[in-house]
Structure 1
Amino acid sequence: MITIKSVLRVLLAIFMITAGTLHWVTPDPFVKIVPSFLPAPLALVYISGVFEILGGVGLLVPLVSQAAAWGLIALFIAVFPANINMAVNRIQMDGIPDSDLLRWGRLPLQAVLIAWAWWYTKKQ
C-alpha cells in the first residue's frame, strides 16, 4: 500500500536531486549567496550539489535511507548561512522575483525541510 509518507519521500528525493543538479548546471546564482567568510564558493556549491543528489538518491534506497535523511538534515543546517546571507544582504537570485518576503521566507523553509527529512530518520 502506498502511503502519504512514501509519496512525500519520493517528492523530497526528486526535490533534492533537482536542486543538486541545478547547483552543477547553473552554479552562479548559488555562488552569489555563499557568505563571504567562506572559502572557495564555487567548490562549496558543487560539493553541496553532490550531497543534495546523494541525499535524494539515498532516500530512495532502503538500506541507506535513514543515513541519507540524517545527511540531508546536516546539509540543511550547513547551507542555512547562505540563506541568511541572501536575506540580510538582499541578494537577488536569477529566476526568482526580487522580494524580501521570498528571501526571508527561505529561512523558515529550512525548518520545514529539516522536519521533512527527520521523518525518514526512523525505521519503517
Structure 2
Amino acid sequence: MTDHEKRDSAWVIFFRLLLVLFYLVAGIMHIISPGGFLAITPNWVPYPDQVVFFTGVAEIAGAIGLLIPPTLLPKIRYAAGIGLALYALCVFPANINHAVNNLAIGGSTATWAYHGPRLLFQPVFIWWALFAGSVTRWPFR
C-alpha cells in the first residue's frame, strides 16, 4: 500500500465512490440503451454499435477497478484510474461532435448552456479519474 492509500481521507473516498457510481451508471446505459451514444458517435468511428458497447464495458471495468483495494490487488486501482482517464480523453470527440453539430438525442437538441460546461468539464473528468486511481494527488499534496 502506498502512502497515498494510507492517507485517503473521507473526501477522497467520497469522490472516488462518486466517480465509480457515475461510470457504473454510464457504462450500464451504454449497454442497455445505446441509442443516444450512437447518435453522437462521429461518422469516422468504425463499427459504432460495437464501439459503444465496449465503451460501456470499459466504464464498468474501470469503475470496478477503482473499488478494488490496493492491499488486495496492487496497481489495479492505479491502472483503472489511467484507463478511465484515457477513456475520457478518447470519447471527447463524441462530445465535440454532439455540440458542434447540435445532434438530437431522443428527438431533442441541447443548447450551449449544456454543451459548454460539458466540454469544459472533460479535463476535470480526466484529472478526477487519475485522482481516484491514486495516480496523482495534485493539487492536494
Decide: shared fold, TM above 0.5.
yes
Once the two structures are aligned, what percentage of the paired residues are identical?
A: 37
**Residue matched to 1:109:** 121
Partners of 1:16 and 1:52 within 8 A in 2:
yes
The offset of 1:24, in angstroms, is 0.7
State the one-letter code of the partner of 2:58.
F
- The 8 Å contact of residues 70 and 121 in structure 1, kept in 2 or not, is answered as no
- Verify the 8 A CA contact 2:82 2:135 in the aligned structure 1: no
CA deviation after TM superposition for structure 1 residue 99, in Å: 1.6
The whole-number CA distance in structure 2 between the counterparts of 1:98 and 1:33 is 12
1:57 lines up with 2:64 in the alignment: yes
Report the counterpart of residue 31 of structure 1 in structure 2: 38
Question: How many residues end up aligned between the 2 structures?
Answer: 124
Structure 2 residue identity aligned to 1:81:
P
Is 2:13 aligned against 1:6? yes
CA distance in 1 between partners of 2:26 and 2:121 (Å): 14
Structure 2 unaligned spans of 5+? 1-7
Structure 1's unaligned 5+ residue stretches are none
CA contact (8 A) 1:90 1:103 kept: no
State which structure, 1 or 2, has the greater radius of gyration over its C-alpha atoms: 2
RMSD: 2.1
Query: Which residue of structure 2 aligns with residue 46 of structure 1?
Result: 53
Q: Give me the TM-score of the superposition, normalised by structure 1.
A: 0.90
